[in-house]
Amino acid sequence: MQVSYYLKRPNDDKPTAIFAHIWYGGKECKYYLPDSIHPKHWNRKAQLTRETKDFKEYPEFNARLTRWKAEIKSVIRKYSNDNDNLLPEPDELKKLLDAIIKPNIAKKTDVTLVSFFKDIIKRSEEGTRLHPRTGKPISAGTIKFYKQSLGRLETFQDHKKRTYRFEDVDMSFYSDYTEYLTKVLKFAANTIGKQVQTVKLIMNEANEMQLTTNTLHKGKRFLSISEETDSIYLNENKLQLINGVDLSDNPRLDHVRDLFLIGCYTGLRFSDFSILKPEQVKDGFIEIAQQVKTGKPVIIPVHSEVAAIMEKYDGALPKSLSNQKMNDYIKEVAKEVDHLLETEVSVTYTKAGKKKTERYIKADLVTTHTARRSFATNEYLAGTPTLTIMAITGHKTEKAFLKYIRVTPSEHAKHLSEIWAKRAEGKQPTV
């Protein structure tokens, strides 16, 4: 009897499934384990994860792999002892192993969309399920979103008075679920799109674990709908107005303003600029080995405004706040600028299946993400090559980048006029 571990896609740049290749008494069985691993963390020779600080969960992970290997052999021996030395057929062996290794999903007939999603959440909380892009444990924020999505599915089942299984996820399910999210919960289009993406995630994992062969969720009509938002950006003039507000008598808002400006002049996400450390600033550059969301490195030159803020804090950086508090406080800062307090902005969105338009003062629309969008838009208008900006923002295509930035028709016209003027002077800018 021999049990060996292999990766399903050993050359991938993202976590992949692990399967056990089992040889026993002339029979052969390929059994997928509930864990996945990034190939870079896999020791092919040892058939275990590498003992590395980049994958801190390796002791528990390897302990599970070792335990499962012993349990696989034990199941085969026990079956043989109980059945006059006969050996289980591969399909029967898989069911026996499911009962031991995958107790929450042991019987396919008992697995529902909701029960499997609960298992996904459980494995995410335990750290045994890894992020498909970074190979790291799932973040607390993502787990929170999973639980919210689970609640939507559970109330949908109650609403329809039925339990959904993998084979029920078809276009009829899609129509019923999106109608429920639209008409009953009255969600906006982008929120509905995220809930549909969650269903796709559940089904994709079920496919990978060979719990279902249903792939209708991959069809072109099973859409994760989205619409472009009316998010704002702040041009350089508005940023300087915010920077110039005297907040010496309000340390709380002064601190928040400085943290926001760091985001505006680095292009980093809140999850990254809020936890910047002085040691990440070296020789005029900010070096982040792994961004929180993507796990990818990024290097950004230190802008003069960021350098001034660091000097203000004696070489340090403002301490982090929660995203929620930061969003509340930065609106208070923005309201100190007359233009942002007096200017009204129309916001159009789809909710409950209907287009709606509401007006807000511009200050109420400023959030932590405004910083990143402002960086991208301002650099684009300043003539910085789009590929250079994309290297910092992480956009993979120019189409996605141009959709992300907020450039009005008049700004496009002004930008073109400047290009023509510089061309006439023989100073064609690089765009």
Same domain as 11, residue 160:
no
Positive or negative, the CA dihedral 34, 39, 45, 50 is negative
Q: Which domain holds residue 250?
A: 236-425
Which pairs count as long-range contacts for 8-15, CB under 8 Å and 24+ apart, including other chains? 8/32, 8/208, 9/39, 10/39, 10/42, 10/44, 11/39, 12/39, 13/39, 14/38, 14/132, 14/133, 14/135, 15/130, 15/131, 15/132, 15/135
Same domain as 194, residue 86:
no
Nearest C-alpha neighbor of 370 from the set 213, 175, 230, 209: 230
pLDDT recorded at residue 346: 67
Same domain as 382, residue 248:
yes
Same domain as 212, residue 319:
no
Residue 227 lies in a domain: no
pLDDT recorded at residue 26: 92
- State both tokens at 218: 């991959």
- Determine contact, residues 131/137, Cβ cutoff 8 Å: yes
Same domain as 121, residue 90:
no
Same domain as 146, residue 6:
no
Same domain as 71, residue 141:
no
Residue 271 lies in a domain: yes
pLDDT recorded at residue 411: 74
Instruction: Dump the DSSP string for 364-394.
Output: GG--HHHHHHHHHHHHHHTT--HHHHHHHH-
From residue 232, alpha-carbon distances to 363, 376, 397 in Å are 10, 12, 21
Helix, strand and coil percent figures for the chain, each rounded to 5: 50, 15, 35
- Determine contact, residues 245/257, Cβ cutoff 8 Å: yes
Same domain as 331, residue 206:
no
- Of 50, 81, 102, the residue that ends a domain is 102
Residue 108 lies in a domain: no
Same domain as 207, residue 247:
no
Domains in the chain, number: 3
Residue 224 lies in a domain: no
Same domain as 362, residue 253:
yes
Question: Degrees (nearest 5) of the Cα angle 248, 253, 256?
Answer: 120
Residue 75 lies in a domain: yes
For 54-112, where are the alpha helices, taking DSSP H only?
A: 58-82, 90-101
Nearest C-alpha neighbor of 401 from the set 413, 411, 386: 386
pLDDT recorded at residue 340: 75
Residue 365 lies in a domain: yes
Same domain as 197, residue 293:
no
pTM of the predicted protein model: 0.60
Q: Which residues of the chain have pLDDT under 70?
A: 104-110, 134, 227-230, 346-354, 427-431
In the β-sheet with 281-282, what is the strand arrangement from edge to edge? 281-282, 285-288, 298-301
Per-residue pLDDT tens for 123-145? 999 888 887 776 778 888 889 99
Residue 225 lies in a domain: no
- Of 67, 102, 137, the residue that ends a domain is 102
CATH number of the domain within which 128 lies: 1.10.150
Residue 231 lies in a domain: no
Instruction: Dump the DSSP string for 190-250.
Output: HHHHHHHHHHHHHHHHHHHTTS----GGGSTTS-------------HHHHHHHHHS--TT-
pLDDT recorded at residue 428: 56
Same domain as 361, residue 294:
yes
pLDDT recorded at residue 108: 52
- State both tokens at 273: 């600029």
pLDDT recorded at residue 109: 54
Q: Under DSSP, is residue 355 helix (H, G, I), strand (E, B) or coil? A: strand
- Of 102, 121, 140, the residue that ends a domain is 102
CATH number of the domain within which 391 lies: 1.10.443.10
Q: How many residues does the chain have?
A: 431
